[in-house]
Amino acid sequence: MQAIVETLFDALYLISVITIGITMIRNCNGNKEYRFFGIMAVVLGVGDSFHLVPRAVALCTTGLDHFTVALGTGKFITSITMTVFYILLYYVWRIRYQVKGQHTITAAIYILSALRIILCLFPQNQWLSAASPLSWGIYRNIPFALLGLLIIILFYKSARKNHDTEFKNMWLTIVLSFGFYIPVVLFADQIPMIGMLMIPKTCAYVWTVLIGYKAMKNHK
């Protein structure tokens, strides 16, 4: 039952976000904000597919234990693409709110992103092992969490300042995604059921994408 439900959910998620992303890229009519948002959605979906597709195959065949390398590789790729996702979201913020300058914030975004990616590249992560160390899972997610926090603050303050009803909940989608993701990083190895929080985390990202898509539709 888990294999069927999880596979169907993941398939629906991947198809939805990639389709929405491609639609936004094709129909943005030269609008940079929506083009970036579309690229961001495609990066999200394609990046997650490297982990979710092998997981679905594993669940529907011989089990997760037989796909350790594929799952680890996919998890590594997803870690990188999620970092790119937040860089793109930062530029959506800059374009939407016509932000000029702010070089300190831009530098912080790139420094935190670079730290995240560099930490992901360390062999101590043991991506291809069935027992990756928790300590490195924490290390590589510290700059990622700070990156997310910075994006949350930027969208929260700008949406309120500009009375932006379309993006008023953007900050909340990111809060929820991290709120569901962090317990998985910390406790999923000890309590496997905690891994189920990845489902609402995924739903939060779908909400993020839908906010951008609906905004584009409203401005046609």
What is the count of structural domains for the chain? 1
Q: With bands split at pLDDT 50, 70 and 90, how would you rate the model's confidence at 194?
A: confident
Per-residue pLDDT of 103-113, as tens digits, reads: 999 999 999 99
Q: Which amino acid is at 167?
A: F
Of 122, 119, 182, nearest to 148 (Cα)? 182
Please provide the average confidence, as pLDDT, over all residues in the chain: 92
Task: Look up residue 204 and give its two tokens.
Answer: 């939060």
pLDDT of amino acid 118: 97
220 pLDDT higher than 70: no
Task: Look up residue 124 and give its two tokens.
Answer: 């101590």
The CA R_g of the chain, rounded to the nearest whole Å, is 18
Q: Which domain holds residue 167?
A: 2-218
CATH assignment of the domain containing 64: 1.20.1070.10
The C-alpha atoms of residue 193 and residue 180 are separated, in whole angstroms, by: 13
Average pLDDT rounded to a whole number, residues 24-50: 94
Per-residue pLDDT of 68-93, as tens digits, reads: 899 899 999 999 999 999 999 999 99
Q: With bands split at pLDDT 50, 70 and 90, how would you rate the model's confidence at 130?
A: confident
pTM for this predicted structure: 0.93
Where would I find the beta strands (DSSP E) of the chain? Answer: none
